[in-house]
Structure 1
């Protein structure tokens, strides 16, 4: 296919033509975007000013469609918004009735927008609510944690939460579902020192529930752990009337324990046994060791041996 060859004058005319076309399009866009338009925006509702003596339950979705009058620029940016904006809606009217009307709150809604934007209607215009008696309950706090440690370090004692409970105020029927109140996920990485921090709480799925306080103090003792080997005698369970000998008579237990607890860990810190009933029922010639107790905040590394021989003297 032959190429079209343009001389210098024709190239200049073509350049001028496209330049004028671009300028005309830009001018048209500026004029179009400067005008006022009516458009709709989906918004999520954040309820404020709830009634003090009534627990409310919305009977519809927590989103509405706003009809807004604004400039073309605002219309353009509203279409580019990835998430719906949030509007605050007052529930003060629920103290005397079971519904709220948006047309009565347009002035308050418009204060949440730019001065050259105006909310002219909301769909739906009326929101309805169901009510139940409000109640107060004391709920234990559960720490949700995601902690990693520097090698050989770990939690060396009980975690302290101050306070250890929250006061929850909400619908009585909802409060029955809560056995504890979780914190927000508490994250720390490469930890080797005791943690002192504040952590907030996971937000309730219901806007109709309040908690106090809004945060809790967390104290997590962290120490270096070291290995310790303890010889522990083996107990024989269900050996009434029998003279039972176990070989070996002691088991070697290897654990990791905090340095501050190292001296206090001894054979009395463990309970190791075999159950003679296992031999009678299963016909075992050897019996596995059962460890029922190890020191708190210690990590079991190894048990040697894991099974033992035994014989019964009549």
Structure 2
């Protein structure tokens, strides 16, 4: 391979030439990025100023395409955007008609962007809606949480909410799919005592759904827990066709975590352990798994011994 042997003066000229090219490219890039361009970006719609006395269904997707006029830098950064753009759409025109035209809202929408960007068109330009009669439904509030506790501490009773129900209004077909309404997620670590506070309910995902109230008070009872060992008799299911079924052993030992407050109230009668002979009838299983079908609320089962039992059947 041939190697160019350049003199010191020639190498200096090459360096100057490369620097000139880099400066030219950089200058061209700055000039190009400063020019105005028209580009398209998708945007999700948030409905605002919805009519109070009407329930509505959008008849199109909740995403539109924005035709934006901006600099090259804005085109570049729009391609790097990790979160989808969102725009507010004013639904006050629905008080007198069943469509909304973006052409009439360009000023309202452009105020949601920086002054050096301008929305010149939106596709589709017209949004259509279907109206129906509003319905009222009361649903329970669900406490959403992400909590961890200090060792030997846990929730020892039901979480109380005030109020327990929320009133939801909207179209009947939408309310039929709503059976509960969650709070915002309450997060706390290293808990060792009761917790009380207030939480907002989750934001409504549809503009045609209204929720009242939007804040709930909560109380989480927390206490110290300890282990308790109990012996539970095992009951046989689906064994009536046999003269007798003998289990070996006939009882199961379970270890549970219970609160100190409820320690004396947790009795063997609070639990139910069963084995099902259907697994032997269908699969000829050599042993039967023990299933705990009943146990007190806020009582955590730590261990079951044995987990399977042998059996003798007399036909």
TM-score range, shorter chain: 0.7 to 0.9
Q: Give the SS at the match of 1:68.
A: strand
How is 1:35-114 mapped onto 2 (pairs within 5 angstroms)? 35-114=35-114
Which residue of structure 2 aligns with residue 181 of structure 1? 181
1:132-156 Cα distance to aligned partner (Å, 9 max, x none): 1122222111223343433332221
Who is 1:285 aligned against? none
Q: Which residue of 2 aligns with 1:262?
A: 263
Contact 1:47 1:90 in 2 (8 A): yes
Q: Quick one: distance in 2 between partners of 1:8 and 1:212?
A: 82
Question: Bigger CA drift: 121-130 or 292-301?
Answer: 292-301
* Alpha-carbon distance between aligned partners in 2 of 1:38 and 1:289, rounded to the nearest angstrom: 69
Q: Match of 1:130? A: 130
* Shift in CA distance, 76/230, structure 1 to aligned 2, threshold 3 Å: closer
Q: Which runs of 5+ in 1 are unaligned?
A: 236-247, 283-287, 310-314
Cα distance in structure 1, aligned partners of 2:35 and 2:70: 8
Matched residues in 2 for 1:291 and 1:16: separation? 84
Contact 1:40–1:65 (CA under 8 A) maintained in structure 2: yes
Q: Distance in 2 between matches of 1:230 and 1:13?
A: 92
Q: What's the CA shift for 1:94?
A: 0.5
RMSD: 3.7
Aligned counterparts, 1:153-232, within 5 A: 153-229=153-229
Distance (Å, rounded) in 2 between the aligned partners of 1:270 and 1:218? 28
**SS across alignment from 1:47:** strand
> Per the alignment, in what secondary structure is the counterpart of residue 113 of structure 1?
coil
Superposed displacement of residue 291, structure 1: 7.6
Unaligned runs of 5+ in 2: 236-248, 282-288
- Deviation of 1:196 after TM superposition, in Å, equals 2.4
Query: Does structure 2 conserve the Cα–Cα contact (< 8 Å) formed by 1:157 and 1:297?
Result: yes
- Counterpart of 2:15 in 1: which secondary structure? helix
Q: Which stretch of structure 1 is more off in the superposition, 2-11 or 290-299?
A: 290-299
What SS does the aligned partner of 1:177 have?
Answer: coil
Q: Whose radius of gyration is greater, 1 or 2?
A: 1
In structure 2, the partner of 1:149 is 149
Contact 2:142 2:183 in 1 (8 A): yes
Q: CA deviation at 1:272?
A: 6.7
Q: Is the alpha carbon distance of 1:114 and 1:266 closer, same or farther for their aligned partners in structure 2, counting shifts above 3 Å?
A: closer
Once the two structures are TM-superposed, the CA of residue 57 in structure 1 deviates from its matched residue by 0.9
SS of the aligned residue for 1:29 comes to: helix
> 1:4-43 residue pairs with structure 2 within 5 A?
4-43=4-43
